[in-house]
Amino acid sequence: MKKMFLAFLLTMFIASFAISSDKILIYISGPEKMVSMIESMFEKKHGDVIDVYHTGSGPLQQKVWTEMMAGSIQADIIWGAEPLMYYSLMDVGVLQAYYPEEYDELYYELKVGDGHFTATGIRYGTMIVNKTEVSADDFPNSWMDLKNEAFVNQIAMADASQSAMAFALFAALSEMDNGKELLESMGGNGVFVTRMNMDAISVVQTGEKSVCIAPSDGAYRLMKSQKSKGMDPVLQLCWPEEGAILIQRPIALVKKTRSDQQLETAELFMDFQSLRLAKNYHHNLVLKRCARIWILFYLRMFRR
């Protein structure tokens, strides 16, 4: 509670400074290296015009909800976590509709939110195995393979109450065909619950567990690091036959009173992120394989 109070005071100080200086305040979740790179790239072109509050996806959601319940969200832009939060914020009317310049260039599957939020990136939730711990015969090719005896007490997954991404993965699996049966089986067989997604991936890399359900990008970074050191990565990504889980990484403009200069800066930042995704064509290589489960999840959750 003390840490939350101190974080709230820090944010209020940053927000007050941003208002007085025509800077904007951006709440961001994501890898620190990526956040620093984005901030540097944007300010190199537009000057010292943004303040960034960086945290994990779970704490980001908690912070947004706490501030909204207290009366107002201090940020000008929220960027990160997963779409469920943004749908809820859209429903209570705290997001301002804005279509970035490159919106028409985005993939159809990413054009969600009716302008109240826009996907600036996509992550793929899938199974990640330690190939030295899983035999060829037991290698999972389907989500349902996780029910096999080989994975009893061998599955890791982040805590859905601590990680927004883990919550999205859990919810998407529950909406998949036979998904509830899968989750019940996992619960009965034992799941090692970690605080963050990277923690789940790490226990698989060390061999403590043999498989985890997590975003693929975390495993990819570890695999890339091992390869750069001349090592053979022990992790391997599995693309289940039913499809992986596509989870968008949204950005949204908060509805609030701001100066014309702040609004211009906020829109420039929204355009900047949309342009980066529109040019990032490598996502198209995996998009069709991953979209089906997420779209099914989206339709069931929000179009009932």
What CATH number should be reported for the domain holding residue 28?
A: 3.40.190.10
Q: How far apart are CA 5 and CA 129, in angstroms?
A: 39
Q: 105 and 146 share a domain?
A: no
- Give CA–CA dist 173/166, Å, rounded: 11
Paired strand residues for 168: none
Domain count, the chain: 2
User: Per the domain annotation, does 302 fall within a domain?
Assistant: no
Give a yes or no: residue 219 inside a domain: yes
Q: Which residue has the tokens 């310049």?
A: 101
Q: What is the rounded distance in angstroms from the CA atom of residue 57 to the CA atom of residue 249?
A: 10
Structure pTM?
0.77
Pair 117, 149 in one domain: no
Domain that holds residue 142: 124-245
If asked whether residues 252 and 115 sit together in one domain, one would say yes
79 within 8 A of 254, measured Cβ to Cβ: no
Residues 198, 227 within the same domain: yes
Residue 301, SS3? helix
What's the sign of the alpha-carbon dihedral 137, 285, 39, 267?
Answer: negative
* Tens digit of each residue's pLDDT, the chain (304 residues): 555 545 555 555 555 544 457 899 999 988 888 889 989 999 999 999 999 999 988 889 999 999 999 999 999 999 988 888 899 999 999 999 999 887 887 777 677 788 999 887 778 899 999 999 999 999 999 999 999 999 999 999 999 888 888 988 998 898 888 999 999 999 999 999 999 999 999 999 999 999 999 999 999 999 999 999 999 999 999 999 888 888 888 899 999 999 999 999 999 999 888 766 555 544 444 444 444 444 444 434 443 4
Task: Give domain status of residue 87, yes or no.
Answer: yes
Domain boundary among 245, 260, 276: 245
- Same domain, yes or no, for 68 and 99? yes
Q: 132 and 236 share a domain?
A: yes
C-alpha to C-alpha distance for 243 and 275, rounded to whole angstroms: 27
